[in-house]
Amino acid sequence: MQRRHGMPLRVNEREIFVTDNKIIRFTAQAGGSLKGQIRVPGDKSISHRSIMLGSIAEGVTEINGFLEGEDSMATLKAFRAMGVAIEGPKDGKVTVHGVGLHGLKAPSEPLDLGNSGTSMRLLSGLLAGQAFDVEVVGDHSLMSRPMRRVTEPLAKMGAQIGATEKGTAPLKITGGQALQGISYVMPVASAQVKSCLLLAGLYASGRTCVQEPAPTRDHTERMLSGMGYPVSSQGGKVCLEGGGRLTATTIDVPADISSAAFFLVGASIAPGSDLLLEHVGINPTRTGVLEILKMMGADIEMLHQREVGGEPVADLRVRSAQLHGIDIPLAQVPLAIDEFPVLFIAAACAQGRTLLTGAAELRVKESDRIQVMADGLQALGIQAEPTEDGMMIHGGRLSAGRVDSKGDHRIAMSFAMAALRAQGPISIDDCANVNTSFPGFVELASAVGLSITTE
Ligand code: S3P
């Protein structure tokens, strides 16, 4: 059951109904195994970018496999509000009638980006280059997330963006600024910051370069190239020249490895499992979860590797295995940044201890994923010791219990999978946001053997 209390949040004398107060509780029964063949929904990062770049391209972009989740829909609605004709989504198909780099129109009200950090950070760059003023807002979680990481470098490019004193949204972006290309060394490895600056760079005079301290997902660069926009990438430095054109194309969105991750871990920890995950995106900037699980002893086979629309794809077969604890290599951290909640569940089911360091970013995701996961694991009897930038987890026996996901989609799905190895049912509070990235999670997980209900 889904309830909306409709708690209004005041933004500029207007009331926006925040979407983060729907209450859904999952209860997952203990035991079972995962078997069968499934395709999880489309990649969230690629879905966002397909709408953004399709909208500012010239011509009609056809998208297949689009993620019909709340986050990517927030992006889609934002572009509709800026005058782009977008058909669908219907069965994952979306048609975007691109308006060109300078064809967007001022929206009549602030753009509400819900829970989606990717929408807000990428859009702030793209919107900084428009001729009109615009304001962007979101739900309680998004309005608490740090935005200086984008507003500061954008200001160096000449953008005018107002934020709260804490550097959070609402962001008020003043249009009509003449942006200048910059060369920016990112202090944190963030694909959102890199993509934001590249999108602003499309509108800037001269060259925009972003140097990343470690490799991060490169979907923006790949899609820009696929649309005929020259992007150079060498030694962790990505550059483009402003003032070019994007040409519409066809985009095939692979299944999201971040959504597949719940099943990779679930099938690894549940004895007797044998699961095939079809058409999963295996872009090397996203496969940290595979490397980490393999180091822990997981049995994962990559079958039928192919390239679809500029992105590598494979079917992943996963069978249960006894996992063991490891020290997670620092280099894998940005490549698995969204998968740590479920990797913590793998660690809780492993023999020995697992240590994660260098992942302070987890504290500023949709929730503080270090604290919220540590609280949940401890409530289930696992020795989990949070640190500033990671966690030490001692593998053990998961007990039955009740945990709070704090409205974080990935935490909710991670604890649902934990039930496969628990001694009794696990109930998880505040799960409505699972719909931001994985609509149909409960049905799909049930279809392959997880006994899960919602109330
Ligand atoms: C994303 C980048 C990552 C990731 C997020 C999606 C993207 O964030 O956590 O879920 O689509 O660019 P950071 O770039 O902030 O690490």
Of ligand 1's atoms, which has the minimum distance to the CA of residue 194? Answer: 14
Total residue count of the chain as it appears in this document: 455
Predicted pLDDT of residue 11: 39
**Phi, psi values for residue 36, rounded to 5°:** 130, -160
Cα Rg of the chain (Å, integer): 21
Cα 327 to ligand 1 centre (Å): 23
Ligand 1 touching residue 192 (CB < 6 A) = yes
Question: If you average pLDDT over residues 205-233, what whole number do you get?
Answer: 98
State the closest ligand 1 atom to the C-alpha of 220, by its place in the atom list counted from 1: 12
Using alpha carbons only, what angle is made at residue 22 by residues 19 and 23, rounded to the nearest 5 degrees? 155
Q: Phi first, then psi: what are they for 259, rounded to 5°?
A: -80, -35
338 is catalytic: yes
Q: Is residue 17's pLDDT more than 60?
A: no
Nearest to 187 by CA among 179, 177, 197: 197
C-alpha span between 61 and 316 (Å, rounded):
29
Mean pLDDT of 229-239: 97
Proportion of the chain in helix, strand, coil states, percent, rounded to 5: 30, 30, 40
In which band, very low, low, confident or very high, does the pLDDT at 309 lie, cut at 50, 70 and 90?
Answer: confident
Q: What is the pLDDT of residue 15?
A: 35
Cα–Cα nearest to 9, from 122, 148, 162, 142: 142
pLDDT score of 7: 40
pLDDT for residue 23? 82
* Residue 22 predicted with pLDDT over 80: no
Find out whether the beta carbon of 195 lies less than 6 Å from any atom of ligand 1. Answer: yes
Choose among 23, 31, 131: nearest CA to 434.
23
Nearest CA to ligand 1 atom 16: 190
pLDDT of residue 8: 38
Out of 192, 220, 339, 413, mutate this one to test ligand 1's pocket (max ligand atoms within 8 Å of CB): namely 192
Which percentage of the chain shows pLDDT scores above 70?
Answer: 95
| Rounded mean pLDDT, 396-400 | 98
Measured in Å, residue 51 CA sits from the centre of ligand 1 at 16
Ligand 1 center from residue 381 Cα (angstroms): 31
When the pLDDT of each residue in the chain is averaged and rounded to a whole number, the result is 95
Half-sphere exposure of 125 (CA within 13 A, CB side): 29
Q: Whose CA is nearest to atom 13 of ligand 1?
A: 190
In angstroms, rounded to a whole number, what is the distance separating the alpha carbons of residues 337 and 365?
10
- Asked if 267 and 320 count as a contact pair (C-beta separation under 8 A), the reply is yes
Mean pLDDT value across residues 183-198: 98
- Counting atoms of ligand 1 from 1, which one is nearest the CA of 149? 15
pTM: 0.95
Q: What is the Å distance from ligand 1's center to 172 Cα?
A: 22
φ, ψ for residue 203, nearest 5 deg: -100, 0
Q: Which of 256, 315, 338, 404 is catalytic?
A: 338
Ligand 1 in reach of 339 Cβ (< 6 A):
no
Question: What gap in Å lies between CA 160 and CA 143, rounded to an integer?
Answer: 19
Tens of pLDDT, residue by residue over 101-160, are 999 999 999 999 999 999 999 999 999 999 999 999 999 999 999 999 999 999 999 999
Q: Are 409 and 256 in contact (CB under 8 A)?
A: no
Q: Report how far ligand 1's centroid is from the alpha carbon of 339 (Å).
A: 11
Q: How far is the CA of 192 from the centre of ligand 1 (A)?
A: 5
The string of pLDDT tens digits covering residues 63-73 is 999 999 999 99
For the cut 80, the answer to whether the pLDDT of residue 425 exceeds it is yes
Q: For residue 217, which amino acid is it?
A: R
Q: Of ligand 1's atoms, which has the minimum distance to the CA of residue 195? A: 12
Averaged pLDDT, 293-306: 98
The DSSP secondary-structure symbol of 282 reads -
118 lines ligand 1 (CB under 6 A): yes
Question: To the nearest 10°, the Cα dihedral for 427, 438, 188, 117?
Answer: -100
In sequence order, what are the residues at sequence separation of 6 or more whose Cβ sits closer than 8 angstroms to the Cβ of residue 82? Answer: 55, 104, 105, 106, 107, 111
Going by pLDDT thresholds of 50, 70 and 90, the confidence category of residue 168 is very high
250 by Cβ neighbours in 10 Å (0-12 / 13-18 / 19+) ranks as exposed
Ligand 1 atom, smallest distance to 48 CA: 11
